[in-house]
């Protein structure tokens, strides 16, 4: 069960993404929360939402900093090896 600090952090991340959906740092904060909670699938889905929005709205890709945040955590945890086959994971490669 989540403690109140984790819930507040999650809600803050969601609010930041809602307020400024094109701000990569907001997505990065929310992804970091998901990773901290070992919610790897949701972290990858949030990355994909960010990647798609940046590509469609601005014609750019996520920064190396955002890609590396997710890649480092996926590489560090053998329990998420199945994410290597997750369709969204392929987009972590430039």
pTM: 0.73
Three-class SS of residue 1? coil
Which residue in 56, 51, 58, 53 sits closest to 94, CA to CA? 51
Whether 88 contacts 82, CB under 8 Å: no
**Residue 87: pLDDT band by 50, 70, 90 thresholds?**
very low
Extents of the domains making up the chain: 4-92
pLDDT tens for each residue of 52-72 = 999 999 999 999 999 888 877
92 or 73: which leads in pLDDT: 73
At the fourth CATH level, which superfamily is domain 4-92? Tetratricopeptide repeat domain (1.25.40.10)
């Amino acid at each position: 069960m989540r403690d109140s600090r984790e819930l507040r952090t999650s809600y803050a991340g969601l609010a930041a993404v809602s307020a400024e959906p094109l701000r990569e740092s907001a997505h990065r904060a929310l992804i970091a929360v998901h990773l901290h909670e070992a919610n790897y699938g949701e972290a990858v889905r949030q990355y994909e939402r960010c990647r798609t929005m940046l590509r469609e709205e601005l014609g750019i890709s996520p920064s190396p900093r955002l890609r590396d945040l997710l890649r480092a955590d996926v590489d560090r945890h053998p329990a998420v090896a199945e994410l290597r086959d997750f369709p969204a994971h392929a987009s972590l490669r430039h």
